[in-house]
Amino acid sequence: MATRINKYLSEVGFCSRRRADILIKKGKVTINGEIPEIGTKVEDSDQVEVEGKKIKKSIKQKNIYLAFNKPVGIVCTTDKKVEPHNIIDFIKYPERIFPIGRLDKLSEGLIFLTNDGDIVNKILRARNNHEKEYIVSVNRPIDSKFIETMSKGVKILGTTTKDCFVKKLGPKKFKIILTQGLNRQIRRMCESLGYRVQSLKRVRIMNIKLDVPTGKFREFTKEEILELNELLENSKKNI
C-alpha cells in the first residue's frame, strides 16, 4: 500500500512529518535515486534514502514514549552538530528518538521524546487546547494586576495570547497553564509587562506530570497512554 513519504519517514521512526517535509524540500531525501516532491507516495518495494542512508521499514516498530526532565543548558534538537548539549546525545537512548516540541536552552522540565512521528502535530496543535503547565520565577514582586493581565492575554509577536490560568505562588513566583505554544511565549509575556524570567520549569503536559529527577527519563505507563489516547481521540491516530 502506498504511503506519503513524510508519513513513511515518521512511521519508521526516522523523524516527524514536519521534519521530513523540511528534508524533502532541501533535496536530502530520495526514492529509488530520485528526489521526490512533497506528497510523493512510497511503495514497500521502493528504496528510500535520507542523505545517502538507506531507510528500512521494519515489520512493526515498538513505539517509544519517554517523559524527560530536561536540565537547563540542554538544547532540544536532534542536530548532532550542537555539541555537547543536544538532547539526543545527553540522553543516549539506544534507539532513534526525537523530542515533541521544545523547551528553550534556559528552561527546564518536562519534554516528551518518541520514535512515533505521527503523533507530534496532534500534541502540538494549539487548536486542540492541550494543556502545558509551568512554574515561573521572575526578578521582582508580582501583584494582582500582573496575574490578571497575564491570564487575559498579552500582546506579543504581533498577536494577543490566549486566555490562560495564572496563579500566584509566592512574592516572585507563579503557575501558568497554556494551551498554545508561541516562541518563548512565557518569557515574552513577562518581558512585555516589565518583568524578566529568572527560572522556568514545565511540570506537566496534558495528563503527564513531571516526576523524575533532573536529567532523568522514564517511559509512559500503560494508564498514561490510555488516558492520552482519550485526550487525542479526535485526532486521526492514537498511540
CA separation, residue 14 to residues 11, 49, 181, 235 (Å) = 8, 11, 24, 21
Question: Which of 104, 116, 118, 211 is an active site residue?
Answer: 104
For residue 190, with 0-12 CB atoms within 10 Å meaning exposed, 13-18 middle and 19 or more buried, which class applies?
buried
Round to whole Å and give the CA distance between 194 and 115.
40
Buried b (16+ CB within 10 A) or exposed e, 59-69: eeeeebbbbbb
**Is 104 considered catalytic here?**
yes
The β-bridge relationship of strands 155-156 and 132-138 is unpaired
C-alpha cell at 210: 513531571
**174 phi/psi in degrees, rounded to 5:** -150, 160
What value, to the nearest 5°, has the Cα angle with vertex 47 and ends 44 and 48? 100
- List Cα–Cα distances, 198 to 16, 61, 174, 186, in angstroms: 32, 41, 12, 12
Residue 135 · residue 172 · CB < 8 Å: no
Which value, in Å, is the radius of gyration of the alpha carbons in the chain? 20
Which sequence positions are flagged as catalytic? 104
